[in-house]
């Protein structure tokens, strides 16, 4: 696999940041886009644009077919059983809100319990908090150990007859912990409890097989998977999508509308009200093709090589501490430098063209647990090279120099 050839497919890397070559280590936040995705957006608007759905004209038929092709690609990408189990949303956040709202309406009442973990991104906490506020549900947090792994035995102890759903991340966007979701799902299913998996970080970086996991819900965002913004994916088992009430009401999600009665469209349309991000969904197919052209195994191998190299090099730098040491770690490296606030780190690194993120990464619960206000985070994508890591380390050294650290 020739990484430079892959990297050359991303036009952004030909530009300079502050006069320096761009070293992009913020893919956990959002990934860069290959030319094929950008071209597809352009091409669709230029030559093929139409809304999808009911219009009977050649453009509409073509757009509808292309839109459905992406659904089929996504289905294959995560190995769902049927393409109707793939719902397009605005982003993963909306997908989780969809589940929390509709599932909550039907299944969660006062005193019922929802289990999440201390690793969760705010997008897999706040939607459940709404159920705590509105339905008087109780949220329980499965604790993590010092390494940043969810303690499965403790999670098991949290399950009671009141537990209605478990929502857990597949891959932490701070510690990089790969969560053994299959094990959690097995435990939950023994008690007939459904499980939602937040796949934002896993979908673009590790192989995902929702049939093998047997999860009830799986959510991810296209923009983190080399795709356009404005597209999220909710995978849900057919039985849930058919049973749960609709989420957003409007055009396209209805079957028949009368003054006294409305019936809803079958899935997936039942959950796709109004005009969808048509061009973006269609262009997202190119992202999946891009990932498939590399092969998820090769992609994982490459990112592991870069991550291991980075961990080894960063660990050697004085006063730098890597946050979390999970059993299985993906390419997400949160770190602190003693005596330098993460925001100062990010500004100084940016001056060297190195883009990272600083802050709580939408994980305040986790940061509180780790007794940290903020961390700096470098995260790896398919386009990163060992040179990028060398540049990162050089920029960290520069940071230490400015702050006069020994």
Partner 1 sequence: MDLKQLYQDIILEHGKSPRNLGKCEGYNYDAKGYNPLCGDKVHVFLKLDNKKKVKGLTFEGEGCAISLASASIMTELVKGKSFKETKEIMAAFLNMIKNNSEIQINFLDDDQKTKLMSLSGVKQFPMRVKCATLSWHTLVSAMEGKKREINTEATD
- What amino acid positions are annotated as catalytic residues? 362
Closer of 193 and 340 to partner 1 (Cβ)? 340
Closer of 156 and 360 to partner 1 (Cβ)? 360
Q: Should residue 397 be labelled a site residue for partner 1 when binding is judged by CB under 8 A?
A: no
What does residue 16 show for φ and ψ, rounded to 5 degrees?
-105, 150
Rounded least distance, CB 356 to partner 1, Å? 13
Q: Should residue 360 be labelled a site residue for partner 1 when binding is judged by CB under 8 A?
A: yes
Q: Should residue 341 be labelled a site residue for partner 1 when binding is judged by CB under 8 A?
A: yes
Per-residue contact string for residues 280-319; x = within reach of partner 1 by CB under 8 A: ----------------------------------------
* 15-44: contacts with partner 1 (CB under 8 A): 18
Maximum C-alpha span of the chain: 75
Closer of 80 and 346 to partner 1 (Cβ)? 346
> With CB under 8 A as the contact rule, which of the stretches 95-103, 195-203, 215-223, 360-368 interacts with partner 1?
360-368
Closer of 239 and 338 to partner 1 (Cβ)? 338
> With CB under 8 A as the contact rule, which of the stretches 77-85, 143-151, 257-265, 333-341 interacts with partner 1?
333-341
> With CB under 8 A as the contact rule, which of the stretches 87-95, 214-222, 315-323, 341-349 interacts with partner 1?
341-349
Q: Should residue 111 be labelled a site residue for partner 1 when binding is judged by CB under 8 A?
A: no
Task: Give the list of residues 6+ apart from residue 183 with CB closer than 8 angstroms, or none.
Answer: 152
Q: Should residue 403 be labelled a site residue for partner 1 when binding is judged by CB under 8 A?
A: yes
Q: Should residue 344 be labelled a site residue for partner 1 when binding is judged by CB under 8 A?
A: yes
Closer of 18 and 134 to partner 1 (Cβ)? 18
Closer of 301 and 368 to partner 1 (Cβ)? 368
Rounded least distance, CB 324 to partner 1, Å? 18
Q: Should residue 264 be labelled a site residue for partner 1 when binding is judged by CB under 8 A?
A: no
Q: Should residue 104 be labelled a site residue for partner 1 when binding is judged by CB under 8 A?
A: no
Single residue of 37, 167, 358, 378 touching partner 1 by CB under 8 A: 358
Single residue of 68, 351, 390, 397 touching partner 1 by CB under 8 A: 351
**SS3 readout for the chain:** CCHHHHHCCCHHHHCEECCEECEECECCCCCCCCHHHHHHHHHHHHHHCCCCCCCCCHHHHHHHHHHHHHHHHHHHHCCCCCHHHEEEECCHHHHHHHHHHHHHHHHCCCCCEEEEECCCCHHHCHHHHHHHHHHCCEEEEECECCCCCECHHHHHHHCCCCEEEEEEECECCCCCEECCHHHHHHHHHHCCCCEEEECCCCCCCCCCCHHHHCCCEEEEEHHHCCCCCCCEEEEECHHHHHHCCCCCCCCCCEEEECCCCEEECCCCHHHCCCCCCHHHHHHHHHHHHHHHHHCHHHHHHHHHHHHHHHHHHHHCCCCEEECCCCCCECCEEEEEECCECHHHHHHHHHHCCEECEEECCCCHHHHHHCCCCCEEEEECCCCCCHHHHHHHHHHHHHHHHHCCCC
Q: Please, are residues 175 and 202 in contact by the beta-carbon 8 Å criterion?
A: no
Contacts with partner 1 by CB under 8 A: the residue count is 20
Closer of 318 and 347 to partner 1 (Cβ)? 347
Q: Should residue 359 be labelled a site residue for partner 1 when binding is judged by CB under 8 A?
A: yes
Tokens of 131: 């159920």
Q: Which of 118, 221, 111 is nearest to 163 (CA)?
A: 111
Q: Should residue 132 be labelled a site residue for partner 1 when binding is judged by CB under 8 A?
A: no
Q: Should residue 376 be labelled a site residue for partner 1 when binding is judged by CB under 8 A?
A: no
> With CB under 8 A as the contact rule, which of the stretches 25-33, 98-106, 148-156, 345-353 interacts with partner 1?
345-353
> With CB under 8 A as the contact rule, which of the stretches 64-72, 195-203, 253-261, 366-374 interacts with partner 1?
366-374
Q: Which of 367, 369, 373, 386 is nearest to 314 (CA)?
A: 386
Closer of 129 and 341 to partner 1 (Cβ)? 341
Q: Please, are residues 91 and 220 in contact by the beta-carbon 8 Å criterion?
A: no
Q: Should residue 373 be labelled a site residue for partner 1 when binding is judged by CB under 8 A?
A: yes
Residues interacting with partner 1, by CB under 8 A?
18, 339-344, 347-348, 351, 358-360, 364, 367, 373-374, 402-404
């Amino acid at each position: 696999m020739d990484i430079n050839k892959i990297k050359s497919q991303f036009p952004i890397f030909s530009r300079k940041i502050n006069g320096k070559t761009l070293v992009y280590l913020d893919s956990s936040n959002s990934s860069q886009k290959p030319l094929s995705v950008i071209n597809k957006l352009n091409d669709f608007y230029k030559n093929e644009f139409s809304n999808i759905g009911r219009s009977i004209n050649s453009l509409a038929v073509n757009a509808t077919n292309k839109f459905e092709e992406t659904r089929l690609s996504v289905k294959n990408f995560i190995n769902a059983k049927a393409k109707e189990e793939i719902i397009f949303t605005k982003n993963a956040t909306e997908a989780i809100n969809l589940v929390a709202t509709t599932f909550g309406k039907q299944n969660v009442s006062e005193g019922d319990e929802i289990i999440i973990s201390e690793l969760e991104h705010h997008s897999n906490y706040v939607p459940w908090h709404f159920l705590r506020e509105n339905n008087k549900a109780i949220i329980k947090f499965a604790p993590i150990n010092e390494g940043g792994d969810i303690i499965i035995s403790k999670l098991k102890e949290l399950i009671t007859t009141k537990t209605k759903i478990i929502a857990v991340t597949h891959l932490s966007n701070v510690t990089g912990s790969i969560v053994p979701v299959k094990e959690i799902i097995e435990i939950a299913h023994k008690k007939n409890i459904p499980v939602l998996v937040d796949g934002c970080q896993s979908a673009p970086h590790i192989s995902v097989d929702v049939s093998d996991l047997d999860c009830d819900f799986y959510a991810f965002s296209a923009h983190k998977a080399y795709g356009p913004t404005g597209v999220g994916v909710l995978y849900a088992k057919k039985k849930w999508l058919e049973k749960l009430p609709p989420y957003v009401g409007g055009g396209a999600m209805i079957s028949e509308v009368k003054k006294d009665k409305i019936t809803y469209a079958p899935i997936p349309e039942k959950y796709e009200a109004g005009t969808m991000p048509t061009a973006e969904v269609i262009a997202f197919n190119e992202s999946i093709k891009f990932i498939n052209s590399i092969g998820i195994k090769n992609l994982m191998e490459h990112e592991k090589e870069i991550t291991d190299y980075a961990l080894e090099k960063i660990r050697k730098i004085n006063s730098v501490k890597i946050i979390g040491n999970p059993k299985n770690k993906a390419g997400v490296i949160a770190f602190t430098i003693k005596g330098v606030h993460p925001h100062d780190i990010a500004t100084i690194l940016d001056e060297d063209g190195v883009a990272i993120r600083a802050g709580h990464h939408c994980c305040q619960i986790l940061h509180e647990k780790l007794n940290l206000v903020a961390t700096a985070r470098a995260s790896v994508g398919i386009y990163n090279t060992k040179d990028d890591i060398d540049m990162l380390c050089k920029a960290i050294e520069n940071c230490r120099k400015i702050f006069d650290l020994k």
